[in-house]
């Protein structure tokens, strides 16, 4: 077996999962071994994803690295994997984030470190698998199985109200997903196949498409999350340990977006057209209303959670704006920009929200408070940290030169083609985002030091510095040079838009 | 040898060996009854081997068409013997620990298995009834076996009276059907029912009473009243038994009566089962949330699972019935593990039957907390565990038959159900233990439970074999 025909996709799934199982068996007795081993596994997984990136053919829109074997032959369910331009950036995001999460919990997690590492490693494998699976049942198995480690992560290492938060998280996402399962089963009864690519081509009546769209919507809108099914997110984010928040915000939310791209749009294009106005309105509500909600939060994690929902509004806006553009102008020019902007927004938000949660984590580890009022004047005792956080806060508010700008800008630009008012409303986020991010920053970092414990804060150590430095590089790099991501996804997105704008009614 | 007898070799052997166990136990003075126990287990294994050895390749009838031997009966019989074997492994440890070991437990258990096997092979209403009563009478006695226990006596009384009532209903239905068609053989009934010479509404009238009997035995709402009391009151070893193999027999009975006998009335029984299914899933899942006793909670969870089981029957196709069979077999495996866990945590004269007894289990024993985690997520229907596939299978067949709305209702109830399974996980992993007493279970017990839990996980990762087995059992 040469380097070029390794089963990379399977390795991306099973390396972290098997590593996680080993960690669990090793147990808490060898704490240091467990940590270094987990880090090694996560780095190896990241290397695999880089190998995947290097061998990826950016001129081909279909699935690459396809692996296909029988799994449940009684029902023709296959172990069928493959990546395209949509999945690849998300896989890179997942594997990169895992390294940071493991580093971030190095000294912080005191109880059951092996469980913690095991849960995160298995979670990584499952998340990779969700982006890779090409059989809907395989996809569903990974999609649901992912809930188990996350449920435990929030429940075991979470804050005081963790039980409520984790059960709410589980039931909410479970509720959305089971309807998706019914939709998959219905599609099977029509198409006779569980293959995602085959489902893309199956003709469906509009009424069936609408019901399927709603079922998918329940699954993906809860996950991403869209207003008004977002309420699990602030609870889960606040109570989760830092690592859990990072994974939730950086990757799990992206699965909702991925679901829209992979399932809702191509399988039910006519229903997507039918519901596109409603989706755009919901996205705008999320962007503006949730932006205001974020403004009044007193808990930093809650504020970032709401800002995530608001940013995800851009993602759904970008996904559904092509329909509005076609309706308004009759051509699809600019549509691809909106969708690519949305993809870029997903990737960029992955890095920025991870960075923001890690920043809060750094402060929380020192003072054990997430309340804005417990801080003030942190810059005096933690100048390096304040500098890093400044960058991330600006990126969060969409400053040009950071990756946060690229996605938002493209989506707004493309919205202009559809309607001035959609673009105008969406652009309000530039004000709101800056307001809640900078105002929080001002209250936490600047001002006089009024609390004794704030004055005694120690600045970040080299481990924390390294994590934030890595993220800072990525955020700036994709801000000034986003081409690597656009190149990868361009052909796939182009193909997707063509497919989506074609009716598949019988 | 007589051809009739050859088909019934496993049953005959089981009967003879059960009598042998009775005699062995009568002359055995050993307080641990180990000889009785081992002969019992050997009996089950021998029967299992005979069932597999004589696996029918074709449908054959015996005893004046009162006994049928086909792939479904043989498959179910094999699982009945196998599952009962595991049940006795658990029970023996439990009874030894509780110092209430009696040889009769095993004898009655074997007779119950015989009853189940007769039900699985019933080709006439008479043999359905015969098998059912043999099973039920053995179970009544097993529930009542702890004479000193008030709750057990109460449970047995309730079980007996309600069970007798249900048997009466069933008999009344049988008499109606017999009066209308003039047949007891299920195949002849099916023939008569599909002709136009009999008034359909009378047939449906008789069928309803038979369905009541079946619903009672399975524990479907609104005929579920006995389930929580019996599950809670009976000794855990008996609850463990009741909730596993007899469910397979009740499923066989439903298949024999509704599919073999009354298939021409499918549109009528589909709608009746639909009501039973929705009521069972709703009532079972919602009331289970309010329970503090885990045996009682699992009883309500059984009711909910029975509702799901009906969904496959409602689908009305061969694959749908396979789905139900897959469901009931997986349910038996999960239920066995869950009650096995209660047995594991129980010590002499202490029953770990409250939910709070599971508090902080992950600190006390990470491995068994993990096993219980697998069982609970499996029951909730979360992949990659076996329970997901059983739900998936029946839902798939339901959707394929066009009952999409019913499938949507079912998944809503399964979300409600997820809550109380999650609560157990919460107690084990998120709460602190009240006491850190180590688990004092024998090696054997630990082994069996570990195998049981891992089976749920492994079958969830590779469900193909079991699915193919259920599909081939009901291919006809």
Q: Find the residue in A nearest to B470 (Cα).
A: A74
CA distance B281 to B310: 10
Nearest to A386 by CA among A311, A463, A296, A457: A457
Q: What is the pLDDT of residues A74-122, one digit of tens each?
A: 888 999 999 988 999 999 999 999 999 998 888 877 778 888 889 999 9
Angle at which helix B366-380 crosses helix B318-345, to 10 degrees, equals: 150
| Vertex A144: Cα angle to A142 and A145 (nearest 5) | 60
Structural contact between residues B7 and B120, judged by C-beta atoms closer than 8 angstroms: no
Structural contact between residues B339 and B328, judged by C-beta atoms closer than 8 angstroms: no
Q: Find the residue in A nearest to B421 (Cα).
A: A167
Answer left, alpha or beta for residue B183, where phi above 0 means left and psi between -120 and 50 means alpha: beta
Nearest to B349 by CA among B87, B32, B99, B149: B99
Q: Which residues of B touch A154 (CB under 8 A)?
A: none
Q: Do B396 and A174 touch (CB under 8 A)?
A: no
Q: Which residues of A touch B467 (CB under 8 A)?
A: 72, 74-75
pLDDT of residue A4: 61
How many residues in total does chain A contain?
Answer: 506
CA distance A411 to A422: 10
Nearest to B471 by CA among B402, B396, B404: B396
How many interface pairs between A and B have CB atoms less than 8 angstroms apart? 85
What is the least distance, in Å, from the CA of B383 to any CA of chain A? 5
What is the least distance, in Å, from the CA of B232 to any CA of chain A? 27
Say if residue A190 is exposed, middle or buried (CB neighbours under 10 Å; 0-12, 13-18, 19+).
middle
Q: Find the residue in B nearest to A139 (Cα).
A: B383
pLDDT by residue for chain B (476 residues), tens only, comes to 577 888 889 999 999 999 999 998 888 888 888 888 999 999 999 999 999 998 888 888 888 888 999 999 999 999 999 999 999 999 988 888 887 788 889 999 999 999 999 999 999 999 999 999 999 999 999 999 888 888 889 999 999 999 999 999 999 999 999 999 988 999 999 988 888 888 888 899 999 999 999 999 888 988 998 999 999 989 889 999 999 999 999 999 999 999 988 988 899 999 999 999 999 999 999 999 999 999 999 999 999 999 999 999 999 888 999 999 999 999 999 999 999 998 888 876 677 788 888 888 888 888 889 999 999 999 999 988 999 999 999 999 999 998 999 999 999 999 998 999 999 999 998 888 877 777 777 888 889 999 999 999 999 999 999 999 999 888 75
A47 three-state secondary structure: helix
Q: Residues with Cβ < 8 Å from B268, sequence gap 6 or more? A: B200, B204, B207
Q: Which residues of A touch B471 (CB under 8 A)?
A: 74
Q: Do A185 and B396 touch (CB under 8 A)?
A: yes
Beta bridge partners of B62: B67
Q: Which pair of tokens denotes residue B12?
A: 């005959």
pLDDT of residue B254: 92
Q: Find the residue in B nearest to A112 (Cα).
A: B363
Q: Which residues of A touch B407 (CB under 8 A)?
A: 182, 185
A77 three-state secondary structure: strand
Q: What is the pLDDT of residues A355-396, one digit of tens each?
A: 999 999 888 888 888 888 888 888 888 889 899 999 999 999
**Confidence label for A1 from pLDDT (cuts 50, 70 and 90):** very low
Nearest to B176 by CA among B226, B230, B125: B125
Q: Which pair of tokens denotes residue B36?
A: 């009785």
Q: Find the residue in A nearest to B406 (Cα).
A: A182
Mark out chain A residues that contact chain B at CB-CB < 8 A. Answer: 71-75, 137, 140-142, 144-145, 147-148, 151-152, 155-156, 162-163, 166-167, 170-171, 174-175, 178-179, 181-182, 185-186, 188-189
Q: Do A151 and B399 touch (CB under 8 A)?
A: no
> Which backbone phi and psi does B407 adopt, to 5 degrees?
-60, -40
Q: What is the pLDDT of residues A120-155, one digit of tens each?
A: 999 999 999 999 999 999 999 999 999 999 999 998
Helix (H) / strand (E) element for A70: namely strand A64-72
Q: What is the pLDDT of residues A165-204, one digit of tens each?
A: 999 999 999 998 999 999 999 999 888 889 998 888 888 8
Which of B383, B422, B424, B463 best tests the A interface by mutation, with the highest count of A CBs <10 A?
Answer: B383
Q: What is the pLDDT of residues A431-470, one digit of tens each?
A: 898 999 999 998 888 888 887 887 788 888 888 899 999 9
Nearest to A366 by CA among A156, A108, A35, A155: A108
What is the least distance, in Å, from the CA of B382 to any CA of chain A? 6
For tokens 């340990």, the residue is: A241
DSSP B118-166: HHHTB-BHHHHHHHHHHHHHHHHHHHTT-TT-HHHHHHHHHHHHHHHHH
CA distance B276 to B257: 17
Which of A189, A191, A222 best tests the B interface by mutation, with the highest count of B CBs <10 A?
Answer: A189
What is the least distance, in Å, from the CA of B42 to any CA of chain A? 34
Q: Find the residue in B nearest to A162 (Cα).
A: B430
Q: Do A155 and B419 touch (CB under 8 A)?
A: no
Angle at which helix B386-400 crosses helix B404-430, to 10 degrees, equals: 170
What is the least distance, in Å, from the CA of B319 to any CA of chain A? 11
Rounded to two decimals, the ipTM of the complex is 0.92
What is the least distance, in Å, from the CA of B320 to any CA of chain A? 13
Nearest to A288 by CA among A433, A123, A180, A391: A433
CA distance A151 to A130: 17
- Please indicate, yes or no, whether the overall pTM of this predicted structure exceeds 0.90: yes
Distance of CA B322 to the CA centre of its chain: 16
Which of A73, A126, A178, A240 best tests the B interface by mutation, with the highest count of B CBs <10 A?
Answer: A178
pLDDT of residue A2: 55
Q: Which residues of B touch A141 (CB under 8 A)?
A: 383-384, 388
CA distance B407 to B106: 41
Q: Do B395 and A181 touch (CB under 8 A)?
A: yes
Q: Find the residue in B nearest to A140 (Cα).
A: B383
Q: Do A182 and B400 touch (CB under 8 A)?
A: no
In the DSSP assignment, the letter for residue B293 is B
Q: Residues with Cβ < 8 Å from B334, sequence gap 6 or more? A: B375, B378, B379, B386, B387, B456
> Which backbone phi and psi does A459 adopt, to 5 degrees?
-70, 170
Nearest to A222 by CA among A272, A189, A179, A265: A179
Q: What is the pLDDT of residues A36-72, one digit of tens each?
A: 889 999 999 999 999 989 888 888 888 888 888 989 8
Q: Find the residue in A nearest to B468 (Cα).
A: A74
Structural contact between residues B203 and B180, judged by C-beta atoms closer than 8 angstroms: yes
Structural contact between residues B304 and B220, judged by C-beta atoms closer than 8 angstroms: no
Helix (H) / strand (E) element for B314: namely helix B294-315
Which of A148, A154, A180, A207 best tests the B interface by mutation, with the highest count of B CBs <10 A?
Answer: A148
Q: Do A72 and B419 touch (CB under 8 A)?
A: no
Say how many C-beta atoms besides its own lie within 10 A of residue A373's C-beta. Answer: 12
Mark out chain B residues that contact chain A at CB-CB < 8 A. Answer: 377, 382-384, 388, 392, 395-396, 399-400, 404, 407-408, 411-412, 414-415, 418-419, 422-423, 425-426, 429-430, 463-464, 467-468, 471
Structural contact between residues B306 and B220, judged by C-beta atoms closer than 8 angstroms: yes
């Amino acid at each position: 077996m040469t380097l070029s025909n390794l089963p990379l996709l399977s390795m991306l799934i099973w390396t972290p999962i098997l590593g996680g199982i080993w960690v669990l068996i090793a147990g808490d007795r060898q704490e240091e071994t467990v940590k270094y081993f987990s880090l090694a596994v996560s780095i190896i997984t990241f290397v695999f994803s880089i190998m995947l990136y290097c061998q990826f053919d950016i001129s081909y829109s279909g699935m690459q690295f396809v692996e296909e074997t029988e799994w449940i032959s009684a029902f023709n369910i296959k172990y069928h994997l493959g990546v395209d331009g949509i999945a690849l950036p998300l896989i890179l995001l997942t594997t990169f984030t895992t390294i940071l999460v493991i580093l971030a919990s190095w000294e912080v997690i005191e109880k059951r470190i092996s469980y913690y590492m095991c849960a995160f490693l298995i979670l990584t494998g499952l998340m990779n698998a969700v982006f890779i699976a090409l059989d809907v049942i395989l996809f569903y198995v990974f999609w649901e199985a992912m809930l188990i480690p996350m449920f435990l992560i929030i429940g075991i290492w979470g804050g005081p109200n963790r039980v409520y938060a984790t059960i709410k998280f589980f039931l909410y996402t479970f509720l959305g997903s089971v309807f998706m399962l019914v939709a998959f089963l219905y599609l099977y009864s029509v198409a006779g196949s569980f293959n995602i690519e085959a489902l893309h081509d199956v003709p469906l009546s509009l009424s069936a498409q609408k019901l399927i769209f709603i079922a998918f919507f329940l699954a993906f809108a809860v996950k991403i999350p869209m207003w008004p099914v977002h309420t699990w997110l602030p609870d889960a984010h606040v109570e989760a340990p830092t690592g859990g928040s990072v994974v939730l915000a950086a990757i799990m939310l992206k699965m909702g977006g991925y679901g829209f791209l992979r399932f809702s749009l191509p399988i039910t294009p006519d229903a997507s057209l039918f519901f596109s106005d409603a989706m755009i309105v919901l996205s705008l509500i999320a962007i503006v209303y949730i932006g205001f909600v974020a403004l009044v939060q007193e808990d930093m994690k809650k504020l970032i959670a709401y800002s995530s929902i608001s940013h995800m509004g851009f993602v759904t806006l970008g996904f559904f704006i092509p329909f509005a553009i076609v309706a308004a102008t009759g051509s699809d020019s600019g549509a691809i920009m909106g969708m690519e902007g949305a993809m870029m927004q997903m990737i960029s938000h992955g890095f920025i929200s991870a960075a923001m949660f890690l920043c809060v984590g750094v402060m929380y580890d020192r003072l054990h408070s997430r309340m804005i009022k417990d801080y003030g004047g942190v810059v005096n005792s933690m100048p390096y940290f304040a500098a890093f956080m400044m960058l991330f806060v600006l990126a969060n508010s969409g400053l040009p030169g950071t990756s946060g700008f690229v996605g938002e800008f493209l989506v707004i630009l493309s919205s202009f083609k559809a309607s001035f008012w959609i673009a105008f409303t969406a652009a309000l986020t530039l004000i709101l985002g800056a307001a809640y991010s900078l105002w929080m920053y001002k209250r936490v970092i600047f001002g006089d030091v009024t609390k004794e414990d704030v004055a005694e804060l120690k600045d970040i150590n080299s481990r924390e510095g390294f994590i934030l430095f890595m993220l800072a590089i990525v955020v700036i790099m994709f801000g000034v040079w986003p081409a690597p991501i656009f190149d990868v996804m361009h052909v796939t997105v182009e193909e997707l838009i063509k497919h989506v704008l074609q009716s598949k009614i019988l | 040898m007589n051809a009739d007898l050859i088909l019934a070799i496993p049953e005959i052997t089981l009967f003879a060996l059960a009598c042998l166990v009775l005699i062995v136990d009568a002359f055995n003075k050993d307080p641990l009854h180990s000889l009785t126990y081992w002969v019992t287990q050997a009996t089950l294994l021998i029967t299992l081997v005979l069932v597999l050895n004589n696996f029918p390749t074709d449908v054959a009838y015996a005893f004046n068409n009162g006994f049928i031997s086909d792939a479904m009966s043989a498959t179910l019989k094999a699982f009945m013997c196998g599952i009962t074997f595991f049940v006795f492994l658990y029970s023996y440890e439990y009874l030894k620990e509780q110092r209430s070991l009696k040889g009769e437990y095993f004898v009655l258990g074997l007779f119950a298995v015989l009853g189940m096997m007769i039900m699985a092979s019933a080709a006439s209403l008479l043999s359905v009834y015969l098998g059912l009563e043999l099973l039920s009478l053995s179970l009544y006695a097993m529930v009542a076996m702890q004479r000193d226990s008030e709750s057990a006596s109460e449970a047995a009384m309730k079980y007996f009276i309600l069970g007798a009532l249900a048997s009466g209903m069933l008999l009344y239905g049988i008499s109606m059907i017999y009066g209308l068609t003039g047949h007891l053989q299920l195949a002849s009934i099916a023939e008569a029912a599909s002709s136009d010479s009999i008034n359909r509404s009378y047939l449906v009238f008789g069928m309803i009473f038979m369905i009541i009997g079946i619903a009672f035995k399975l524990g479907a709402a609104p005929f579920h009243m006995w389930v929580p009391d019996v599950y809670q009151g009976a000794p855990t070893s008996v609850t463990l038994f009741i909730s596993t193999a007899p469910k397979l027999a009740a499923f066989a009975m439903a298949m024999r009566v509704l599919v073999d006998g009354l298939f021409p009335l499918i549109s009528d029984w589909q709608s009746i089962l639909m009501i039973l299914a929705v009521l069972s899933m709703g009532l079972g899942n919602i009331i289970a949330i309010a329970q503090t006793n885990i045996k009682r909670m699992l009883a309500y969870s059984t009711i909910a699972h029975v509702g799901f089981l009906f969904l496959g029957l409602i689908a009305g196709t061969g694959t749908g019935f396979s789905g139900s069979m897959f469901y009931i077999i997986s349910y038996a495996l999960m239920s066995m593990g869950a009650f096995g866990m209660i047995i594991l945590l129980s010590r002499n004269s202490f029953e770990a039957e409250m939910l709070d007894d599971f508090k902080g289990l992950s600190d006390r024993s990470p491995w068994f907390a993990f096993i219980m985690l697998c069982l609970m997520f499996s029951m909730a229907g979360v992949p990659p565990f076996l329970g997901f596939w059983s739900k998936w299978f029946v839902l798939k067949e339901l959707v394929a038959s066009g009952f999409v709305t019913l499938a949507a209702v079912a998944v809503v109830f399964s979300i409600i159900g997820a809550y109380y399974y999650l609560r157990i996980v919460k107690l084990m992993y998120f709460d602190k233990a009240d006491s850190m007493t180590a688990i004092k279970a024998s090696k054997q017990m630990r082994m069996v439970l570990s195998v049981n839990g891992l089976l749920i996980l492994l079958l969830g990762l590779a469900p193909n074999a079991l699915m193919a087995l259920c599909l081939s059992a009901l291919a006809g």
